Structures are given as structure tokens and as C-alpha cells.
């Protein structure tokens, strides 16, 4: 009977600890809401980095915590775009117009 209680206790502990992991295996506190950050650019297909992590090419969406984030967009022939934003709520949109770089314009 004591062995069965230990097995149940260990199982409950493992189940509770697994609730603190999100889909990519990064720990986060339980009950912290996440937000969807949708990013579009003109021209499309610019590389999107959020907090120095590549999340895809525009248009793309990423799940982020509602807090401060550094967003960067890069595309060959265009000046890089970088801003620090504060995400609040469940959904945020960015629509970025990239400008040709001065080196590309002088060709």
C-alpha cells in the first residue's frame, strides 16, 4: 500500500510539473496568458526576429508573452528595421514598410 501511494505521488508530481512547459519545452509560470504577434511587411518575405530569435518570414505570427520585445525585420537590398515594442492583450499586429538600403539604391 505504501508503494502504491509513492507511485501515485510521483505520478502526480510529474503531471503537475509538465503543466509548466509550453510547446517548445521552455518553462514559464502557469496561468500566464500568451499573445499572438502577427507581422507583415512590404515587401513580403523579410526575415522576422523577435528577441534575436528567428520566427519566420513575413507574413508570419509568433506566440509571445505579453511584455516588452525587440522585433527586427531584415531583407536583402532593404534597410533593416528594429523596434522595441510592448505587447499587451491577446493579439497584436505589426505592418512594416521596408525602405531600400542606400547601397541598393546606388547600384
Confirm if 38 and 61 have CB atoms less than 8 A apart: yes
Cα–Cα distance, 13 to 18 (Å, whole number): 9
Per the prediction, the chain carries an average pLDDT of 79
Sheet containing strand 81-86, edge to edge, reads: 53-57, 47-50, 68-74, 81-86
Are 14 and 20 in contact by the 8 Å Cβ rule? The answer is no
Spatial contact of 78 and 46, defined as CB atoms under 8 Å apart: yes
Say which range, 1-5, 40-44, 50-54, 96-100, has the weakest mean pLDDT: 1-5
Please give the residue that has the higher pLDDT: either 38 or 3. 38
| DSSP category for residue 78 | B
Domain boundaries along the sequence of the chain: 33-102
Query: What is the reported pLDDT for 17?
Result: 43
pTM score over 0.75? no
Q: How far apart are CA 104 and CA 76, in angstroms?
A: 9
Task: Compute the distance between CA of residue 73 and CA of residue 82 in angstroms, rounded to an integer.
Answer: 7
d(Cα 54, Cα 15) in Å, to the nearest integer? 31
Q: What average pLDDT does range 72-98 have in this prediction? A: 95
33-102 domain in CATH 3.50.50.60?
no
13-48 pLDDT, tens digit per residue, is: 444 444 433 333 344 556 668 999 999 999 999 999
Q: How large is the average pLDDT for residues 37-66?
A: 96
For the ranges 23-27, 60-64, 84-88, 100-104, the lowest mean pLDDT is seen at 23-27
Amino acid at each position: 500500500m505504501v508503494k502504491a501511494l509513492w507511485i501515485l505521488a510521483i505520478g502526480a508530481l510529474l503531471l503537475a510539473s509538465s503543466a509548466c512547459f509550453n510547446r517548445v519545452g521552455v518553462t514559464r509560470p502557469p496561468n500566464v496568458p500568451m499573445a499572438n504577434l502577427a507581422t507583415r511587411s512590404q515587401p513580403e518575405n523579410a526575415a522576422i526576429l523577435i528577441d534575436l530569435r528567428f520566427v519566420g518570414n513575413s507574413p508570419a505570427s509568433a506566440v509571445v508573452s505579453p511584455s516588452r520585445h525587440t522585433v527586427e525585420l531584415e531583407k536583402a537590398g532593404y534597410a533593416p528595421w528594429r523596434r522595441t515594442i510592448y505587447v499587451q492583450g491577446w493579439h497584436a499586429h505589426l505592418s512594416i514598410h521596408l525602405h531600400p538600403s542606400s547601397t541598393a539604391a546606388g547600384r
